[in-house]
Structure 1
Amino acid sequence: MRLQFQVQQFQTEAVAAVVDCFADQPYAAPGPANAPLVTGRLLSNVRAVQRRAGLPLSGTLAGSEAAPDAPNLDVEMETGTGKTYVYIKTIMELNRRYGWSRFIVVVPGVAIREGVRKTFEMTAEHFQQWYGTRPRPFTYDSSALHELERFRSGAGVQVMIINLQAFNSASRENRRIYEEQDGFGSRRPIDVIRSARPIVVIDEPQRIGSTRSLESLSRFDPLMVLRYSATHRVRHDLVHRLDALTAYRQKLVKRITVVGIEGEPGAGKRRVQIREVIRAHLEKERQLHPRGVKVLSLLFIDQVVKYRDYSRCDQLGDYARIFVEEYRALTAGEPDGDYRRYLDGIPVERTHQGYFAIDRRTGHMIDGSASDVDAYDLILRDRERLLSLDEPVRFVFSHSALREGWDNPNVFVMGMLKRSDNTVSRRQEVGRGLRLAVDQRGERTAGINELTVVADESYASFVAGLQAEGDFRKVTDGRRARRSPAPAAMITCEDVERVAFDSADLVARCVAALDDGLAPLRLVVQTADRTLRYSMNPDKVLDPVGHLAERTRLTRRTIAAILTAIRPATFALCGGETAAEIINREKAALISAGVPPAASRSADDRTPRPRAGRPRSATRR
Structure 2
Amino acid sequence: MHFQFAQYQYQTDATNAVCDVFDGQSKQEETSYIRDQGHWTRGDQSTLTVAAKDDGFGYRNAPIELPPSVLLENMQRIQKKQALKVSPSLYRHPLGAVSLDVEMETGTGKTFVYTKTIFELNRRYGWNKFIVVVPSIAIREGVYSSFETTSDYFYMSGKDGHEGYKKQLKYFVYSSSNLTQLDTFAQSPDISVMIINMQAFNTSMKEGGRSKESRIIYSERDEFGSRRRIDVISATHPIIILDEPQKMGGKATQEGIRRFNPLFTLHYSATHREKHDLVYSLDALDAYNQRLVKRIEVKGFELHNMRGTDGYLYLQDIVISKNKPPRARIEFKALAGSGIVTKRVRSFEEGESIYEASGELEAYHDDWRIAPDGIVPDTDHELGYVRFLNGTVLRKGQILNDGAETDMRRVQIRETILSHLQKEEHLWERGIKCLSLFFIDEVAKYRRYDEEGEAIKGEYARIFEEEYDRCVQWFLDGRLDDGHGYVDWLRTTWGRSVHQGYFSIDKHGHAIDSKLKRGSDESDDTDAYNLILRDKERLLSFDEPTRFIFSHSALREGWDNPNVFQICTLKHSNNEISKRQEVGRGLRICVNRDGVRQDVNVLGESLVQQVNLLTVIASESYERFSEDLQKDMRSELRDRQMRITDGFFTKVTIHPEQLGTQYMGGEDVTFDAGESHLIYMLLYKFDYIDSDGNITDRYKETGLSEVFVEELPQELQKKAPAIGVALKSVVEDRLINYVGDGLKKKISLNRLNENFGKKEFIELWNRINHKYTYTVNFDDDELVDKAIGDINDNLVVAELSYSVTKGTQKELLTGEDLALGAHFKRSANSTYRQRIDIDATNGVKYDLLGEVAQAAVITRACAARILSGIRADKFSMFRNNPEQFIAQVSRCIIRQKATMIVEHIIYTRADGSYDSTIFTNVPPQDEIKGMQVTKCIQDWIFPDSDGEGRFAKKLETEGDVVVYAKLPRGFRIPTPVGNYAPDWAIAFKEGTSIRHLFFVAETKGSMDTLDLKGVEKGKIECAKTLFNDLKLAGDVHYGRVATYEDLLSIAKADK
Query: Which band: TM-score by shorter chain?
Result: 0.7 to 0.9
1:479 aligns with: 743
Bigger mean CA offset, 423-432 vs 452-461: 423-432
> Counterparts of 1:195-594 in structure 2 under 5 Å?
195-263=235-303, 264-311=403-450, 315-333=456-474, 334=476, 335-337=479-481, 338-369=485-516, 370-445=523-598, 446=603, 447=607, 448-471=611-634, 473=735, 474-479=738-743, 528-529=926-927
AA in 1 matched with 2:460: Y
Deviations along 1:564-584, one digit per CA (max 9) or x if unpaired, are: xxxxxxxxxxxxxxxxxxxxx
Pairwise CA distance, 1:343: 2.7
Contact 1:359 1:366 in 2 (8 A): no
Contact 2:217 2:230 in 1 (8 A): yes
1:10 aligns with: 10
AA in 2 matched with 1:426: K
**SS state of the match for residue 462, structure 2?**
helix
Bigger mean CA offset, 48-57 vs 313-322: 313-322
Pairwise CA distance, 1:342: 2.5
Q: 2:72 aligned with 1:43, yes or no?
A: yes
Distance in 2, matches of 1:265 and 1:234, equals 43
Q: Which runs of 5+ in 1 are unaligned?
A: 482-526, 531-621
Pairwise CA distance, 1:340: 3.1
AA in 2 matched with 1:119: S
Distance in 1, matches of 2:628 and 2:257, equals 32
Note closer, same or farther for the CA distance 1:173–1:297 as it changes in structure 2 (3 Å cut): farther
**SS state of the match for residue 131, structure 1?**
coil
Distance in 2, matches of 1:245 and 1:45, equals 27
**SS state of the match for residue 272, structure 1?**
helix
Deviations along 1:16-55, one digit per CA (max 9) or x if unpaired, are: 0000000011101123110111112101111010000000
Contact 2:466 2:495 in 1 (8 A): no
Deviations along 1:264-290, one digit per CA (max 9) or x if unpaired, are: 351111100000111111111111112
Q: 2:95 aligned with 1:95, yes or no?
A: no
Runs of 4+ in 1 over 6 A off after TM superposition: none
Pairwise CA distance, 1:154: 1.3
Deviations along 1:110-146, one digit per CA (max 9) or x if unpaired, are: 0000011111111000000110112121111112221
AA in 1 matched with 2:73: S
Note closer, same or farther for the CA distance 1:64–1:403 as it changes in structure 2 (3 Å cut): farther
Q: Which runs of 5+ in 2 are unaligned?
A: 32-58, 157-163, 204-208, 304-402, 517-522, 638-734, 746-924, 929-1055
Distance in 2, matches of 1:319 and 1:16, equals 48
Distance in 1, matches of 2:632 and 2:220, equals 44
AA in 1 matched with 2:565: F
2:327 aligns with: none
Pairwise CA distance, 1:347: 4.2
Note closer, same or farther for the CA distance 1:352–1:179 as it changes in structure 2 (3 Å cut): farther
Deviations along 1:51-78, one digit per CA (max 9) or x if unpaired, are: 000000101111335x1x5210000000
Bigger mean CA offset, 289-298 vs 303-312: 303-312
AA in 2 matched with 1:454: I
Q: Which of residues 103, 112, 135 in structure 1 aligns to 2:139?
A: 112
> Counterparts of 1:169-180 in structure 2 under 5 Å?
169=203, 172-175=211-214, 176-180=216-220
Deviations along 1:228-254, one digit per CA (max 9) or x if unpaired, are: 000111110000000111111111110
AA in 2 matched with 1:357: S
Q: 2:183 aligned with 1:149, yes or no?
A: yes
**SS state of the match for residue 160, structure 1?**
strand
Contact 1:358 1:375 in 2 (8 A): yes
**SS state of the match for residue 449, structure 2?**
coil
Matched pairs, number: 483
Contact 2:556 2:585 in 1 (8 A): yes
Distance in 2, matches of 1:265 and 1:134, equals 55
**SS state of the match for residue 194, structure 2?**
strand
Q: Which of residues 196, 199, 221 in structure 2 aligns to 1:181?
A: 221
2:973 aligns with: none
Contact 1:231 1:470 in 2 (8 A): no
Contact 1:27 1:97 in 2 (8 A): yes
Contact 2:242 2:265 in 1 (8 A): yes
TM-score (norm 1): 0.75
AA in 1 matched with 2:8: Q
Pairwise CA distance, 1:296: 0.5
Pairwise CA distance, 1:292: 1.1
Distance in 2, matches of 1:281 and 1:181, equals 57
**SS state of the match for residue 433, structure 1?**
coil
Q: Tell me which structure has the larger Cα radius of gyration.
A: 2
Pairwise CA distance, 1:430: 1.1
Note closer, same or farther for the CA distance 1:339–1:76 as it changes in structure 2 (3 Å cut): same
AA in 1 matched with 2:186: R
Distance in 2, matches of 1:173 and 1:165, equals 13
Distance in 2, matches of 1:475 and 1:200, equals 37
Contact 1:167 1:177 in 2 (8 A): no
Contact 1:165 1:174 in 2 (8 A): no
Pairwise CA distance, 1:344: 4.2
Pairwise CA distance, 1:480: 7.6
Distance in 2, matches of 1:383 and 1:48, equals 41
Note closer, same or farther for the CA distance 1:428–1:30 as it changes in structure 2 (3 Å cut): farther
AA in 2 matched with 1:122: T
Pairwise CA distance, 1:302: 1.1
1:564 aligns with: none
AA in 1 matched with 2:190: G
Contact 2:514 2:525 in 1 (8 A): no
Distance in 1, matches of 2:570 and 2:617, equals 9
Pairwise CA distance, 1:310: 1.7
Distance in 2, matches of 1:295 and 1:124, equals 27
Note closer, same or farther for the CA distance 1:90–1:24 as it changes in structure 2 (3 Å cut): same
Among the aligned pairs, what percent are the same residue? 50
Contact 1:296 1:396 in 2 (8 A): yes
2:111 aligns with: 84
Contact 1:112 1:405 in 2 (8 A): yes
Distance in 2, matches of 1:141 and 1:75, equals 28
Contact 1:112 1:406 in 2 (8 A): no
Bigger mean CA offset, 306-315 vs 383-392: 306-315
Instruction: Name the structure, 1 or 2, with higher relative contact order (CA <8 Å, separation 6+).
Output: 1
AA in 2 matched with 1:252: L
Deviations along 1:414-459, one digit per CA (max 9) or x if unpaired, are: 0011111211132233111111111111002233110000011111
Contact 1:3 1:442 in 2 (8 A): yes
Distance in 2, matches of 1:165 and 1:50, equals 34
